Amino acid sequence: MLAGEAIGKAAGQGTGPGGAARATPPPVAPDPGTAGVSLVPDNRAAFALRVLSARAAARTLDLQYYTWNVDATGALLAREALRAADRGVRVRLLLDDLYVRGHERDLAALVEHPSVEVRLYNPFRVRSWGAFGAAIDFMLASYRLNHRMHNKAWIADGRLFVGGGRNIGDEYFGAASQFNFRDLDLVVEGEAAAQAAGHFDRYWTSVRVRPVEALADAAARRRSLRAAGGLDDLRRRLEAVAEGAAGSDHLARLEAGPDLAGLLAENRVLVPTERVRIAADPPRKGLGRRRAPGLLSEVRAAVAAAGREVLIVSPYFVPGRRGARLLASLVRRGVRVSVVTNSLAATDVLAVHGGYARRRRRLLRAGIELRELKRGGQEGASLLGSGGNASLHTKAFCVDGELAFVGSFNFDPRSAHLNTEMGAFVRHPAVAGQLREEVARLTDPARSWAVRLDGAGRLAWSDGGAEGPLRGEPETTLTRRVLARVLGWLPIEPYL
């Protein structure tokens, strides 16, 4: 459904001259004053949504990401963006520079297209000496370079916004062979999506953002590119990746999926526009003496206003002293507070788990419910027939069954003070109900452990199995447990 001929079936279309995809008719827009909102937990649907919206774009495609991997799904989505540019769509790609190093060649090839622009957030300046140059750059400008752009936004025509926790790469769409993420997108259709477009424009024109061709050695790279084929060579490589993915037995078995309008309609909730707020940190977050209020203040205010229940999903949960006090104060007021995060077995960042584990007992004593996701296998059918373990990557919370938030914001110091973040607040019981269903799925005993304190104050993990509560971090090696413990002792919490 998502590559080569199969992707054409999913879109209900073929390809135009030269292999460029013909634009699909745009989906029916919500009525004025109304936003279409939906949650997308399924990996294949999330990938199809991006492909089909790129094919439906008529004017602009604005793409903002922390990471865009050079793998099968990354190549397929780059191909769709390039095909949109071939139709005259203005494509703007804004990437954080942390993971760009080594891929300047492809980005310089992209900007040879007259309809494609690429800019980098907070770029490294020493680019010619590989990892050694990056290390020198970081030593000389660590304060500046420690602030990264963690935002994720896929915006078509300023009328369709896809945001949440997913970056672009195989592991975010269930296509990696060894390790995949459980993630969640929130889609906004209609006038409300213009809020995301406004945030994108503020970043695009920020002093912290530079065009890829303005990098110190960009001119030399572009000269070597033209000798090697440049944009034409990049097209050939993208098409080769697409052909390889289309040959997957798993993709070959997929039947035609819905068009974009059908895909959007599956879980759409119509919400008054004024009840949808897409928020983002200022591009200069964390720098300068005057710090503009950012997403942290809005998240904190929303959680503090809870009257009955707060459900939090955060793969990297390090609330810090102030955050822990806030959650404990809610429990004392009679508010149920439940947190879903990664277990030590499932996490991909041991240092973060070490920071979380330091406060785990205090959180439990305060009455906060903790659930830790197991290191589960791939759920359902994966995009490329892959398997492997799965780790939580969703960042979301729900307040009183009325307010839902989905975005890039983790409950940790890095999201609070260092990285720029974004997300969408939706005040509607049906959307909040969809999020509560996702939380219920994650907290099912088959997928997560309930962490409690026993009568002696010791940690115990339980999933309702016949063997009873387990002691020690379940499904982990001694080495992993020791490393997490040691990292938890180090004074690095502000950087987690």
The pLDDT-based confidence of 452 (bands split at 50, 70, 90) is: very high
Burial of 48 (0-12, 13-18, 19+ CB in 10 A): buried
Q: Is 400 a catalytic residue?
A: yes
Of the candidates 62, 96, 157, 281, the residue annotated as catalytic is: 157
On whether both 120 and 204 belong to a single domain, the answer is yes
Q: Is 249 a catalytic residue?
A: no
The candidate with the shortest Cα–Cα distance to 258, out of 425, 33, 38, 495, is: 38
What are the DSSP calls for 45-100, one per residue? HHHHHHHHHHHH-SSEEEEEES-B-SSHHHHHHHHHHHHHHHTT-EEEEEEEGGGT
- Cα 61 from Cα 156, distance rounded (Å): 5
- Cα 388 from Cα 449, distance rounded (Å): 20
On whether both 199 and 331 belong to a single domain, the answer is no
All residues at 6 or more sequence positions from 117 whose CB lies less than 8 Å from its CB, including other chains:
90, 91, 92, 93, 111, 211
On whether both 216 and 105 belong to a single domain, the answer is yes
On whether both 308 and 406 belong to a single domain, the answer is yes
Of the candidates 113, 199, 285, 393, the residue annotated as catalytic is: 393
- Neighbouring C-alpha atoms within 13 Å toward the C-beta of 406: 29
Of the candidates 152, 199, 353, 428, the residue annotated as catalytic is: 152
Query: Domain limits at 64?
Result: 4-9+32-265
- Cα 341 from Cα 348, distance rounded (Å): 12
- List the single range of 213-222, 260-269, 319-328 with lowest mean pLDDT: 213-222
pLDDT at 286: 75
Q: Is residue 75 scored above 70 in pLDDT? A: yes
| Mean of pLDDT over the chain | 84
Q: Is residue 354 scored above 50 in pLDDT? A: yes
22 alpha-carbon distance from chain centroid:
28
On whether both 213 and 284 belong to a single domain, the answer is no
On whether both 157 and 254 belong to a single domain, the answer is yes
Does a structural domain hold residue 22? no
Q: Is residue 135 scored above 80 in pLDDT? A: no
Does a structural domain hold residue 186? yes
On whether both 223 and 353 belong to a single domain, the answer is no
Q: Is residue 483 scored above 80 in pLDDT? A: yes
On whether both 375 and 464 belong to a single domain, the answer is yes
Using the 3D structure, point to which of 244, 265, 286 is the last residue of a domain. 265
Q: Is residue 370 scored above 80 in pLDDT? A: yes
Of the candidates 233, 348, 400, 463, the residue annotated as catalytic is: 400
Does a structural domain hold residue 15? no
Q: Which domain CATH number covers 469? A: 3.30.870.10
Of the candidates 353, 395, 412, 428, the residue annotated as catalytic is: 395
Using the 3D structure, point to which of 265, 296, 320 is the last residue of a domain. 265
Of the candidates 113, 150, 353, 428, the residue annotated as catalytic is: 150
Using the 3D structure, point to which of 219, 241, 265 is the last residue of a domain. 265
The pLDDT-based confidence of 142 (bands split at 50, 70, 90) is: low
Count how many domains the chain has. 2
Q: Is 374 a catalytic residue?
A: no
pLDDT at 271: 96
On whether both 251 and 282 belong to a single domain, the answer is no
Does a structural domain hold residue 260? yes
On whether both 292 and 239 belong to a single domain, the answer is no
Q: Is 281 a catalytic residue?
A: no
Does a structural domain hold residue 24? no
Does a structural domain hold residue 441? yes
Does a structural domain hold residue 422? yes
Does a structural domain hold residue 112? yes
On whether both 286 and 361 belong to a single domain, the answer is yes
On whether both 128 and 48 belong to a single domain, the answer is yes
Q: Is 285 a catalytic residue?
A: no
pTM score of the predicted model: 0.89
